[in-house]
Amino acid sequence: MSRNDSKKEELQHQLQTLNVLEAELKSLKPDAKVYNAIPTSLKAPLISHAHGQKALFPNLDANSALKDVQKRKVLLANLQQFE
């Protein structure tokens, strides 16, 4: 597999992940809280919360998380056009 094919495959995988996140966030109640809606770098600072889990956005409301996912989808689609 060429480097370009590998990059396209990774972008497609990220888009599929965002599609799943978007669908799940849309299914939540408007006042629901989420803990981490966007895949992030391992270098990102994390915040500990219940059950020993780590979170980037503790208690972020579902609508804000959905907007973040939708923005990321647009950026990813734009990136795919240049590949």
Q: Which residues pair with 54 in a beta bridge?
A: 48
CB 68, CB 39: distance < 8 Å: no
Q: How many residues does the chain have?
A: 83
Read off the pLDDT of each residue in 21-25 and give the average, rounded to a whole number. Answer: 88
CB 25, CB 66: distance < 8 Å: yes
The answer to whether the pTM exceeds 0.75 is no
Read off the pLDDT of each residue in 17-46 and give the average, rounded to a whole number. Answer: 74
For residue 79, the model assigns a pLDDT of 85
Read off the pLDDT of each residue in 48-68 and give the average, rounded to a whole number. Answer: 66
**Cα separation of 2 and 70, whole Å?**
29
Read off the pLDDT of each residue in 14-29 and give the average, rounded to a whole number. Answer: 88
For residue 52, the model assigns a pLDDT of 53
